[in-house]
Amino acid sequence: MEIIKATKLKEKPADQSKLGFGKYFTDYMFTMRYNTEKGWHDAKIEPYAPVSFDLATTVFHYAQGIFEGLKAFKNEKGEIRVFRPEENFKRMNRSAERMCIPAIDEKFVLEGLFELLKLEKDWIPTAPGTALYIRPTIIATKIALGVHASTEYLFFIILSPVGSYYAHGLAPTRLLVEDYYTRATVGGTGESKCIANYAVSLKAGEEAEKKGFDQVLWLDANEKKYVEEVGSMNMFFVIDGEVVTPALVGSILPGITRKSSIELLRANGYKVSERRVSIDEVIEAQKCGKLNEAFGTGTAAVISPVGTMEYKGVDYVVNGGEMGKITKWLYDTITGIQTGRLEDKFGWVTKL
Ligand SMILES: *Cc1c(COP(=O)(O)O)cnc(C)c1O
């Protein structure tokens, strides 16, 4: 792998408690190009810098692009720990397939990422709740306005030291159950991590924010009946002692934190059901005191407790607005494995 050295390094953010999310970027990035003659080629680590594109570039017009999000941690021994990175590149190739983007060599980009992380290890924050967020992305770069899959692409990985995803940290969130706008349909792109899915979600998110909510809870597009997911998180409920999460029906993003949570809960004796769960079932459970907990799962926020849900103008409080026991246990367990405070029994962490 070619490494082009930066002539000058940036100053790192001084206060790790004020990192926020995705505001700072490190000194280097990994890039790789694709064309039909050479396939993926020209992989290198180079100084982080703006890249210029012709305005007729495909991705700007037809949103042919996909991304991933994962995290690296550093412990007191200076050991770099990456959480389930193979899963992200596997999913990236599934997204690529859906979006007509050529597959990447998962092993190769993983090695590229590891080299980049070793080079940037001083950027990995160590304060509790912080991590180095990793953003692999592929965009279509052919200059053409015809509506076709591009024949040229740019793959890149950029890195950002981050704190907690929500400004209010681990405080329970307020969700608006969205019964007008939809995010995804079965047969569409909901289960692939494509950039267009986010553009589609902005309007509902903005309206919810104006009303004081943190995020939108999406329902299925057909009937507006079944719970799908939240913004950038998968959804879990604890109903009468049973942990329930919506089944991956085709319009829901298959989260790696979701998968890890299910595996951890089951290994620790909890009953977890992946099935369709209607909003009526959730509201009914809340009304008769059986909605024990609700939380979201995702790389950025890890495990995020839900404090209230508003549906059709009525507020439903979950667990007195407090973080539930299972939610807390999962948060502590996953972050414990990620940072090395707890034993990594499943072999999820790659140590560099
Ligand atoms: C990325 C993402 C998630 C969470 O997936 P993780 O792999 O757990 O980070 C959930 N929903 C959507 C829409 C996403 O884009």
| pLDDT score, position 59 | 98
Pocket flag, ligand 1, residue 298 (CB < 6 Å): yes
Question: Is the predicted pLDDT of residue 187 greater than 90, yes or no?
Answer: yes
For residue 201, give the ligand 1 atom closest to its CA: 13
Selection from 146, 49, 39 nearest residue 102 by Cα: 39
| Residue-wise pLDDT tens digits, 40-99 | 999 999 999 999 999 999 999 999 999 999 999 998 888 999 999 999 999 999 999 999
* Model confidence pLDDT, tens digit, residues 248-266: 999 999 999 999 999 999 9
Average pLDDT over residues 211-225: 97
Q: Does residue 234's CB lie within 6 angstroms of at least one atom of ligand 1?
A: yes
Ligand 1 near 255 CB (within 6 A): yes
CB-ligand 1 contact for 253 (6 Å cutoff): yes
Query: Which range is least confidently modeled, 74-78, 178-182, 320-324?
Result: 74-78
Which pLDDT score is estimated for 81? 98
**Mean pLDDT across the stretch 1-12?**
95
Query: How many angstroms does the Cα of residue 9 sit away from the middle of ligand 1?
Result: 32
Mean pLDDT of 211-231: 96
Is there a contact between 326 and 262 (Cβ–Cβ < 8 Å)? no
Using 50, 70 and 90 to split pLDDT, how confident is the model at 1? confident
Q: What is the predicted pLDDT for the residue at 169?
A: 67
Asked whether the predicted pLDDT for residue 166 surpasses 80, the reply is no
Candidate of 71, 165, 216, 232 to mutate for ligand 1, largest count of ligand atoms within 8 Å of Cβ: 232
Three-point CA angle 228, 231, 235, nearest 5°: 45
- Residue 167 reports pLDDT greater than 80: no
Residue 218 has pLDDT above 70, yes or no: yes
Q: How confident is the model at residue 173 (pLDDT cuts 50, 70, 90)?
A: very high
In the predicted structure, residue 336 carries a pLDDT above the cut 70: yes
**159 Cα to the center of ligand 1, angstroms:** 18
Residue 185 has pLDDT above 70, yes or no: yes
Model pLDDT for residues 277-307, shown as the tens digit of each residue: 999 999 999 999 999 999 999 999 899 999 9
Could you please report the per-residue DSSP string of 293-304? EEEEEETTTEEE
- What is the bridge-based pairing of β-strands 349-351 and 80-83? antiparallel
Q: Give all strands (DSSP E) within 119-194, no chain letters.
A: 131-140, 153-162, 173-178
Any ligand 1 atom below 6 A from CB of 302: no
Q: Which residue has the tokens 């999310």?
A: 21
Q: Whose CA is nearest to atom 5 of ligand 1?
A: 255
User: Which among 185, 269, 174 has a CA at the least distance from the CA of 228?
Assistant: 185
Beta-carbon neighbour count of residue 90 at 10 Å? 13
Give 28's strand partners.
47
Ligand 1 centroid from CA 298, angstroms: 5
Report the pLDDT averaged over residues 116-132. 96
Find the mean pLDDT for residues 313-337: 96
When pLDDT is averaged across residues 312-323 and rounded to a whole number, the result is: 96
Q: Which of 135, 249, 253, 259 to mutate to test the pocket of ligand 1 (most atoms within 8 A of CB)?
A: 253
Residue 164: the pLDDT is 75
Extract the tokens encoding 10. 């940036």
Percent of the chain residues past pLDDT 90, beyond the cut: 94
Q: Collect all residues with Cβ–Cβ distance below 8 Å to 186 and sequence separation of at least 6.
A: 222, 249, 250, 251
- Position 32 scores a pLDDT of 98
Q: Check if 229 has its Cβ closer than 6 Å to any atom of ligand 1.
A: yes
Closest C-alpha to ligand 1, atom 15: 232
